[in-house]
């Protein structure tokens, strides 16, 4: 089993798995752990190839180059399987952005393991599909980030983070917090980051998610430039058994810009189950 970095906080009766987004690590949740840990037992995970999970693998006598190669060619299903191996047998799963896609895949692979699913600023299909009237990130934008990563790693990641906070009430402060998260842990390799961009570009879980039966909450930011609010009514129709919430004036990281409201909604959704 591939061991991932996981920190457990809190003493609640319900396990809550938290999955971060592209380029980051579990430290991104620190702004809300105090509020949530009094209600739930939190499991903060660095995804495969990200943050301290690189060190966890290296401690198993695997070279860093082998780690980068392994995780730089990993499919969404393979990454999700590794996360499942490192999480409680029964939990609520909350995933932000790319983490939301992984949490959704976990619910599809092992629905008996996922008591409830929460996705935040995430999409079952991140890329724009003009022929289907589907809104998302233009494929050319993702390809541009892939190309730029090999030229200027730090600036490319910083630019992507700036896009995530654009439109929030205090975008500069929010972007600073995300950059601090990156600097707090080992940075993922270019191979791992490119693989994450490819996962966002290639996967489409829209049809698969119609088969989910567990409680499902989808949270969005009204100003999100990466996951447009225009997809919300489309998913409301496609996934009638799920709930959607749009946080006004929030961008791609509503748990940072609107942490109090965000936590209130999470606590209400889980405790009402």
Q: Quick check: 136 and 228 in contact, CB under 8 A?
A: yes
For tokens 């008591």, the residue is 115
pLDDT in tens, 197-236: 999 999 999 999 999 999 999 999 999 999 999 999 999 9
All residues at 6 or more sequence positions from 14 whose CB lies less than 8 Å from its CB, including other chains: 39, 40, 41, 91, 92, 115, 270
Q: Rounded distance, CA 102 to CA 96, Å?
A: 9
pLDDT of the residue at 54: 84
Q: Which residues are catalytic?
A: 97, 224, 252
Residue 3 per-residue DSSP state:
-
Provide the residue range defining the domain that includes 38: 6-271
65 has pLDDT over 90: no
The enclosing domain of 87 has a CATH number of 3.40.50.1820
* Residue 63 confidence class, pLDDT cut points 50, 70, 90: low
Domains contained in the chain, number: 1
Does any domain span residue 160? yes
pLDDT of the residue at 154: 79
Does any domain span residue 241? yes
Q: How far is CA 197 from the centre of its chain?
A: 13
Q: Quick check: 11 and 237 in contact, CB under 8 A?
A: no
What is the reported pTM? 0.92
Report residue 209 as tokens: 């998610």
Mean pLDDT of the chain: 91
**Helix intervals (H) in the chain:** 30-37, 53-58, 64-71, 76-85, 98-109, 139-149, 153-165, 171-183, 190-202, 206-209, 231-238, 254-257, 259-271
More confident residue, 125 or 1: 125
* Residue 61 confidence class, pLDDT cut points 50, 70, 90: very low
pLDDT in tens, 82-140: 999 999 999 999 999 999 999 999 999 999 999 999 999 999 999 999 999 999 999 88
> What percent helix, strand, coil does the chain show, rounded to 5?
50, 15, 35
Does any domain span residue 208? yes
Does any domain span residue 265? yes
More confident residue, 126 or 155: 126
Does any domain span residue 195? yes
Q: Rounded distance, CA 118 to CA 243, Å?
A: 10
Does any domain span residue 1? no
């Amino acid at each position: 089993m591939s061991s991932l970095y996981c920190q457990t906080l809190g003493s609640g009766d319900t396990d809550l798995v938290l999955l971060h987004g592209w380029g980051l690590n579990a430290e991104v949740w620190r702004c809300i752990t105090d509020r949530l840990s009094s209600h739930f037992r939190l499991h903060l995970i660095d995804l495969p190839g990200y943050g301290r999970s690189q060190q966890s693998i290296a401690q198993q006598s695997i070279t860093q180059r082998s780690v980068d190669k392994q995780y730089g060619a990993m499919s969404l299903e393979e990454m999700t399987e590794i996360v499942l191996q490192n999480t409680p047998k029964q939990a609520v799963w909350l995933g932000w952005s790319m983490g939301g896609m992984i949490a959704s895949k976990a619910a599809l692979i092992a629905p008996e393991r996922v008591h409830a699913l929460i996705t935040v600023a995430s999409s079952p299909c991140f890329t724009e599909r003009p022929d289907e009237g589907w809104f998302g990130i233009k494929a050319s934008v993702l390809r541009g980030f892939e190309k730029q990563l090999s030229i200027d790693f730090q600036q490319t990641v910083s630019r992507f983070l700036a896009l995530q906070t654009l439109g929030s009430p205090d975008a500069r402060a929010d972007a600073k917090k995300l950059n601090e998260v990156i600097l707090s842990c080992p940075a993922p390799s270019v191979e791992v980051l490119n693989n994450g961009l490819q996962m966002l570009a290639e996967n489409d879980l829209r049809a698969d998610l119609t088969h989910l039966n567990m409680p499902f909450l989808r949270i969005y930011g009204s100003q999100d430039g990466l996951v447009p609010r225009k997809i919300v009514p489309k998913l409301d129709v496609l996934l009638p058994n799920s709930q959607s919430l749009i946080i006004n004036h929030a961008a791609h990281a509503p748990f940072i810009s609107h942490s109090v409201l965000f936590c209130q909604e999470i606590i209400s959704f889980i405790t009402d189950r």
